[in-house]
Amino acid sequence: MQTNNKPYYTETLPCGLRLVCAPSNSDVAYCGIAIDAGTRDELETESGLAHFCEHLTFKGTHRRRSWHILNRMEAVGGDLNAYTGKEETIYYSAFLKEHFSRAVDLLTDIVLGSTYPQTEMIKEVEVVIDEIESYNDSPSELIFDEFENLIFNGHPLGRNILGEAPRLRELRSEDVQRFADRLYTLTNMVFFVYGKIEPKIVRRELVKALNKVALSLPEGNTLRQKLTEETTEFTATTDNDTTRTALPPYIPQEVIRKKDTHQAHVLIGTRAYSARDPRHLSLYLLNNILGGPGMNSRLNISLREKNGLVYTVESVMTTYTDTGVWSVYFGCDPHDISRCKRLVMKELKRLADQPLSESALKAAKQQIKGQIGISYENSESVALAMGKTFLHYRQTRDKERLFQKIDARTAEDLHAVAKEMFQPENLTTLIYK
């Protein structure tokens, strides 16, 4: 048990499930299960299975049918949801705090006790395929997936989360069960709570819910055995990072796709730093200066405000446990692609050629800290980020510590990163037109 990271409470239960909880001032609470299982953990024959497993998890357990699952939190005005990422799958619920026991009982049941019924799969696969087709109709979203596939050169990390229709139609209940047996393990999970709920109550209700799951599972089930072990100590040995496929070398390239769209869509970027690399904070600041959410970003002023060439231009930074992606996206008239690219490269060159002035750096830090501070008002995002951070890095989130790290960045730090990241020969370009 750890209490030195107040206001967070963390513990690893005897069964291996990690717990993290933090208090909030609201009567609305959030809890969930974060699992170290995402698209990059799929085998070659499992494309789209992480996401499909997420969908099927809601379709029946040893204790509940699909309708009972869907209605359980809705009946008290709560919400039950999930999402699949490249490195994690998260199931979570929002509810009034007095319904916590209901939420924890439901979440543990669907994640640990799902049966993935074949009859439900037949229906749900068409739902997912409709989702894929809807996504394919949106080139401004589709281009990001193809870009990551270029950046990671066919590695599972660059794989489309939704998968492909022909393969999904071939899946059977036993395929989903094998995936879950391999990755939905207790040592591969974190149970997180953000709300006005005492840690002792969280622990008590969680243990009670886990016992219910154990009793619902068939005799001889390995998970049932794990849940009912009476060990008093546990040492975590699982680290999914060590079992994942190594990344291939990065090879910059330029690719043009004929999409017959009214607007051209362009991505320019490169492979970037992992969340564990201290340089990622310098890139985080540079990214915000260039094309963050502020209307005063350099790219927005250059391409939109001064020249009226685009409706949307942004720079995007994504960090994973061992790597990352940084890119600039814009949509424009096909005739303006070259001009927009020149303006983007001009702004990158400015940052790579000379360090920011002290006043510009101070303003950039002030802006990004303000954005972070405001983001903490979104309780759902805070809860999900807490679970994800503890899952991957075994750390709790600390806004003040993050601010200190941002304040410690120097103009020279940012300049060194800009010189490394923004060289033209290091950039990959993908164009839909």
193 plus 322 within the same structural domain: no
179 plus 99 within the same structural domain: yes
215 plus 289 within the same structural domain: no
The total number of structural domains that make up the chain: 2
Q: Can you give the pLDDT at residue 244? A: 79
pLDDT of residue 228 exceeding 80, the answer is no
Q: Can you give the pLDDT at residue 242? A: 56
pLDDT digits (tens, 9 = 90+) for 317-373: 999 999 999 999 999 999 999 999 999 999 999 999 999 999 999 999 999 999 999
107 plus 220 within the same structural domain: yes
Q: What is the mean pLDDT of residues 138-148?
A: 94
> Within a domain: residue 4?
no
Boundary (domain end) residue, out of 213, 240, 267 = 240
415 plus 293 within the same structural domain: yes
326 plus 184 within the same structural domain: no
How high does pLDDT run on average in the chain?
93
pLDDT digits (tens, 9 = 90+) for 362-395: 999 999 999 999 999 999 999 999 999 999 999 9
> Within a domain: residue 16?
yes
> Within a domain: residue 3?
no
> Within a domain: residue 414?
yes
215 plus 281 within the same structural domain: no
61 plus 149 within the same structural domain: yes
Boundary (domain end) residue, out of 192, 214, 240 = 240
121 plus 217 within the same structural domain: yes
357 plus 229 within the same structural domain: no
> Within a domain: residue 245?
no
240 pLDDT band, cuts 50/70/90, is: low
User: Is 85:37 a contact under the CB 8 Å cutoff?
Assistant: no
Q: What is the mean pLDDT of residues 303-315?
A: 97
> Within a domain: residue 1?
no
Counting residues of the chain whose pLDDT is more than 70, the rounded percentage is: 95
pLDDT of residue 230 exceeding 90, the answer is no
Q: Which long-range contacts (CB under 8 A, 24 or more apart) does 380-385 make?
A: 380/30, 380/94, 382/24, 382/194, 383/30, 383/31, 383/32, 383/92, 383/192, 383/193, 383/194, 384/30, 384/32, 384/90, 384/92
What is the pTM (predicted TM-score) of this model? 0.93
156 plus 54 within the same structural domain: yes
Q: How far apart are CA 163 and CA 184, in angstroms?
A: 20
18 plus 140 within the same structural domain: yes
Boundary (domain end) residue, out of 196, 217, 240 = 240
Tell me which residue range forms the domain holding 329. 254-432
Q: What is the mean pLDDT of residues 88-116?
A: 97
> Within a domain: residue 246?
no
> Within a domain: residue 333?
yes
CATH code (residue 160): 3.30.830.10
Which stretch, 14-18, 211-215, 327-331, has highest mean pLDDT?
327-331
